[in-house]
Chains A and B, each alone.
Chain A
């Protein structure tokens, strides 16, 4: 019972901090809004090759991809916040207490999930008047998938931050991980246009599977095999990432 309680404690503290810096919430939501506004006019012609005949079809392909990109990209940059916390001494203060080490990670990662879910809700709400239509149950499953992606990407980012301890190095490492993962998951540009070898490589990218699952959900095919497959796959990946990162949090060095 100790870990859930401590996780809740750490989560509460970080939600409090979030409400104390309204600017960061505003900026976090602004980004997806800009994406919607600038990409929407390009959607229909660009996605015609994937079988998008109407705006609804175009959004059903584009929005799920963008949400995965947001969960992946947003999560990978949370490590910078941890570096600031390390420098301020609050992490060290927590490490002297008997607080659960896993909770130090989970509380933060869950805060990141909340941030992402709020951003995703804003995007879906904005896309609705433009022609997007999706069932509530499908949407909830899609959010579950997004939560798993965010848990993975933020856990990895925290782990890297604990290992490199330098903002410049962290930036480079994160960029080098984020870019190929994004390109190979067909989040923004459809992989249908890619040569065969590139598609074969992307088959090995769990986030590419997630995008396929997300698109199935937004198309209303919750029963599609890609949905449960991507949920199971991402649950496994998230567990691995959390376990790796939690081990680094537990180490008393630094």
Chain B
């Protein structure tokens, strides 16, 4: 449904002589299948929004090619526009207009007739649980309601592909869960959803497949389960009162520990094969050399561990 090859975009910052070129997206190869929720996971400034804006015809690429919903992005922009929906991170509604008026107008901008636009607006309001506020001005909506209006606007013309830029950014947990359900429902209706997120749990729980992007390029791609499986085994994090370096040295020599590294924020991160049996041994080894243990924690690999392995940084920190 979406295929890109070598998609590139760079921006010039600063004035004439001092101008420097920043490569926002550096040769992106992507393939998104029909009917899947594809997630673009990465820190702020990784090139997520730039990629999305290019695929949604808002930004001309500097190079590379892309086919979106069967149409060439460079030569058939009008055809691409007809088959996609795009919801920007900040949304985009007029304050003094009602959700119903916005939906009718949006459908009409896609060439839909007046009567049918009314019908579609009513159906969209119903589908997104907005009927109760349909005739109130957009400025009165809560964050979650406003976000649902944004997404309803993005799909009122029934696109094949929906682009969502940070769909749950800034929402409270309940609204987020609600939004996830809405996105899953769109997939069930056969829509392909391409979203960006910097939330690990969102990428993990909502997306069928994800691409991890950093510095304008893809560093890993696959289903969340596949990606986590690459990080074989489990992770034990240990905090000690003092002598962290010595502790790392001792623990690295243990048979059950595959690798031990000091973390910037203090403590140690240990890769182990089987956490349950390794933990008692780790504790004993530290006691033997007289290093006092303050906390010890076992966790299954997360997407953050995948990011850490590929980039050397934690997504939480960047």
Contact = CB atoms under 8 A, between A and B. Distances in A.
B92 A93 contact: yes
Interface in B95-145: 95-97, 101, 105-106, 108-111, 137
Contact of B60 (A20, A88, A252): A252
In this complex, the interface size class of chain A, counting residues with CB under 8 Å from chain B, is 20 to 34
A123 to B, nearest CB: 28
Contacts of A98: 78, 81-82, 109-111
A91 B157 CA distance: 18
Contacts of A21: 96
B110 A89 contact: no
A92 B96 contact: no
| Best-buried of A9, A17, A89, A93 by chain B (most CB within 10 Å) | A93
A165 B151 CA distance: 27
A136 interface: no
B93 A252 contact: no
A225 interface: no
A97 B111 CA distance: 10
A253 B109 contact: no
B70 interface: no
A47 B106 CA distance: 53
A9 B92 contact: no
A38 interface: no
B63 interface: no
A16 B153 CA distance: 19
A94 interface: yes
Contact of A96 (B57, B93, B108): B57
Nearest to A13: B105
A20 B97 contact: yes
Nearest to A90: B92
B126 to A, nearest CB: 22
A57 interface: no
Contacts of A99: 109-110
Given A97-B110, A98-B81, A16 B97 contact: yes
Contacts of B157: 97
A242 to B, nearest CB: 21
Contacts of B81: 96-98
Nearest to A12: B105
B88 interface: yes
A94 B60 contact: no
A9 B105 contact: yes
A2 B82 CA distance: 14
A166 B97 CA distance: 25
In this complex, the interface size class of chain B, counting residues with CB under 8 Å from chain A, is 20 to 34
Nearest to A8: B108
Interface in A44-103: 88-99
Contacts of A253: 59-60
Nearest to B111: A98
Nearest to B86: A96
Given A9-B105, A98-B110, A253-B59, A93 B153 contact: yes
Interface in A10-60: 13, 16-17, 20-21
A95 B58 contact: yes
Interface string B71-99: 00000011001101110101111111100
Contacts of B84: 96
Given A89-B88, A93-B92, A9 B108 contact: yes
A17 B138 CA distance: 12
A218 B108 CA distance: 42
Given A9-B105, A98-B82, A89 B90 contact: yes
B270 interface: no
B56 interface: yes
Nearest to B93: A90
A13 B103 CA distance: 12
Given A9-B108, A98-B78, A253-B59, A93 B88 contact: yes
Given A20-B97, A253-B60, A97 B109 contact: yes
A6 interface: yes
Contact of B109 (A6, A20, A252): A6
Contacts of A2: 111
Given A92-B58, A93-B92, A16 B101 contact: yes
Contact of A252 (B58, B101, B106): B58
A92 B85 CA distance: 12
A111 to B, nearest CB: 13
21 contacts: A9-B105, A17-B96, A21-B96, A90-B92, A90-B93, A92-B58, A92-B88, A92-B92, A93-B88, A93-B92, A93-B153, A95-B57, A95-B58, A96-B57, A97-B81, A97-B106, A97-B157, A98-B82, A99-B109, A252-B57, A252-B60
Nearest 8 A-B pairs (CB), nearest first? A89-B92, A93-B92, A20-B96, A97-B109, A99-B109, A96-B86, A98-B81, A90-B92
Given A96-B58, A252-B58, 4 more contacts: A16-B97, A88-B92, A92-B92, A98-B82
Interface of A: 2, 6, 9, 13, 16-17, 20-21, 88-99, 252-253
